Amino acid sequence: MMLRLYAGRKKIPLDHVSVDVRHNKIHAEDCESCDTREGKVDTFEREITLEGDLDAETRQRLLEIADKCPVHRTLHSEVQVVTTLKNS
């Protein structure tokens, strides 16, 4: 959605975007680039397909924009889950 909005605003001829995501949990000790050293780490693999009359520079810019999407930023930040019991 973020890419479509950006492309529309910048008049980029983006005809279609598709994103495939795979999720795995790996042992933290097996992750060379992770700060966490204990337990498991969630790993997401994302493949983005861009269709349209796009040059290499525009494709690269769209990938940079994809990394600025709110969902991507949320997954890269520290996350807290606060649960309360609501009386009915």
**DSSP-assigned letter for residue 38:** S
Domain residue spans of the chain: 2-19+45-76
Specify the pLDDT at position 82.
Answer: 87
Give per-residue pLDDT as tens, 65-80: 999 988 888 887 777 8
Give per-residue pLDDT as tens, 11-58: 999 999 999 999 999 888 888 777 777 888 888 899 999 999 999 999
DSSP string, 58-83: HHHHHHHHHTTSHHHHHHHS------
pTM: 0.73
| 5 — pLDDT class (breaks 50, 70, 90) | very high
